[in-house]
């Protein structure tokens, strides 16, 4: 019988190791949340994502956006649609680089917005054809995304690869021409929204802000063509940091529901209990080893 005890101990140790990994993992995750208004009727709803909420996401594909009812993830369809939404105006700084025959325009935003389109308004001259490059970093070896800026043609450029950034640059190649006088620049993104089945009387939260979180795989997108043509729209508001992750912030609206695995108090009680149990098992194993000697 004694020969079995070390094996049983290692089984228990492996189980406890897994539990200690699960407890803190369930406590972290998302850093930002936005609440939905009360659901008056059960059914499908479109949830519009504000640019400020999208700015909190970790990547351009919004793979870390989740919809929760308490601790349960809710399936959704992520959609992009027109018309474009104009983002809050950036701070614009223009520098004419005569040595390289170019104009460098720096755009600085308050948030890490998702930029899918840039629109320029040129004051002078009346006729021009220039090539422009849009990039996040002027020191990069790659020139950025290239577009032709021509008088009399629309100067709204849809980016081949959307940028998610607080800062980007528009580089205008002047060659031997005088610099253009650009009087206005606006950044835009498509209308981005979720479609989900929501139930009356339940509370829902949008969450985001997890680095490298894989995109969810839901059943609902396979049935997108079966959804009703007209779906009510909800606006997610009250974007706040989640207090369990971001500290020293003004008191945000905390989630109204918690469980054993998301409460800080119970997590620490669980961790301390596991440490004590491991210590007791270790003492017992040492005693067994001494008895066998």
Q: pLDDT averaged over consecutive 10-residue blocks of the chain (293 residues)?
A: 51 47 51 94 96 96 96 95 94 95 96 97 96 89 87 95 96 96 96 97 95 94 93 92 60 41 59 77 76 67
Q: What is the pLDDT of residue 250?
A: 38
Please indicate, yes or no, whether residues 131 and 182 belong to a single structural domain of this protein.
yes
Please indicate, yes or no, whether residues 45 and 170 belong to a single structural domain of this protein.
no
Q: How far apart are CA 155 and CA 251, in angstroms?
A: 44
Structure tokens at 220: 């609902």
Please indicate, yes or no, whether residues 93 and 169 belong to a single structural domain of this protein.
yes
Please indicate, yes or no, whether residues 183 and 56 belong to a single structural domain of this protein.
no
Q: What residues contact residue 101 under an 8 Å CB cut-off, 6+ apart? A: 173, 174, 175, 176
In a domain, 5, yes or no: no
Please indicate, yes or no, whether residues 136 and 155 belong to a single structural domain of this protein.
yes
Beta strands in the chain (DSSP E): 32-35, 43-48, 66-69, 72-73, 76-86, 91-97, 102-124, 129-135, 145-150, 156-173, 181-198, 204-208, 233-235, 237-241
- How far does Cα 47 stand from its chain's mean position? 16
In a domain, 103, yes or no: yes
In a domain, 144, yes or no: yes
CATH number of the domain at 111, please. Answer: 2.60.120.260
Please indicate, yes or no, whether residues 119 and 213 belong to a single structural domain of this protein.
no
Domain boundaries, position 171: 87-189
Domain final position from 241, 264, 280: 241
Please indicate, yes or no, whether residues 60 and 117 belong to a single structural domain of this protein.
no
In a domain, 3, yes or no: no
**187, burial (CB in 10 Å: exposed 0-12, middle 13-18, buried 19+):** buried
Contacts 24+ apart (CB under 8 A), 150-158: 151/122, 151/125, 151/126, 151/127, 155/119, 155/120, 155/121, 155/122, 156/117, 156/118, 156/119, 156/188, 157/117, 157/118, 157/119, 157/120, 157/132, 158/116, 158/117
Can you spell out the DSSP letters for 28-95? SS--EEEEPPPP-SSEEEEEEPPHHHHTTSSSTT-TT-EEEETTEE--EEEEEEEEEEEPPPPEEEEE
233 touches 48 (CB < 8 A): yes
Q: What residues contact residue 6 under an 8 Å CB cut-off, 6+ apart? A: 285, 288
Please indicate, yes or no, whether residues 133 and 73 belong to a single structural domain of this protein.
no
Q: What is the pLDDT of residue 263?
A: 52
- How far does Cα 84 stand from its chain's mean position? 19
Please indicate, yes or no, whether residues 122 and 197 belong to a single structural domain of this protein.
no
Which 8-state DSSP code applies to residue 224? Answer: G
In a domain, 229, yes or no: yes
Please indicate, yes or no, whether residues 76 and 162 belong to a single structural domain of this protein.
no
The number of folded domains in the chain is 2
Please indicate, yes or no, whether residues 149 and 230 belong to a single structural domain of this protein.
no
In a domain, 45, yes or no: yes
In a domain, 259, yes or no: no
Please indicate, yes or no, whether residues 172 and 121 belong to a single structural domain of this protein.
yes
In a domain, 263, yes or no: no
């Amino acid at each position: 019988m004694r020969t079995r005890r070390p094996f049983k101990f290692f089984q228990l140790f492996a189980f406890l190791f897994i539990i200690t990994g699960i407890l803190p993992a369930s406590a972290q995750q998302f850093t930002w949340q936005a609440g939905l208004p009360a659901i008056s009727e059960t059914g499908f709803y479109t949830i519009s994502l504000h640019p400020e909420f999208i700015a909190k996401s970790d990547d351009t594909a919004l793979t870390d956006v989740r919809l929760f009812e308490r601790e349960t993830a809710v399936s959704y369809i992520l959609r992009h649609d027109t018309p474009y939404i104009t983002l809050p105006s950036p701070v614009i700084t223009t520098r004419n680089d005569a040595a390289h025959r170019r104009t460098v325009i720096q755009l600085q935003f308050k948030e890490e917005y998702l930029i899918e389109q840039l629109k320029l308004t040129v004051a002078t001259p009346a006729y021009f054809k220039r090539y422009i490059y849009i990039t996040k970093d002027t020191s990069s070896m790659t020139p950025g995304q290239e577009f032709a800026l021509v008088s009399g043609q629309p100067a709204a450029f849809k980016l081949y690869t959307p940028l998610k950034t607080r800062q980007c640059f528009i580089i205008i190649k002047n060659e031997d021409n005088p610099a253009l006088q650009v009087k206005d620049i606006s950044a835009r993104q498509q209308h981005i929204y979720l479609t989900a089945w929501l139930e009356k009387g339940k509370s829902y939260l949008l969450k985001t802000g997890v680095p490298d979180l894989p995109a969810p795989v839901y059943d609902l997108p396979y049935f997108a063509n079966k959804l009703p043509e007209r779906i009510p729209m909800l606006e997610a508001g009250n974007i706040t940091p989640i207090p369990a992750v971001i500290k020293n912030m003004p008191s945000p609206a905390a989630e109204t529901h918690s469980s054993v695995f998301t409460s800080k108090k119970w997590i620490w009680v669980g961790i301390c209990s596991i440490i004590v149990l491991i210590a007791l098992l270790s003492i017992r194993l040492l005693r067994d080893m001494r008895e066998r000697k």
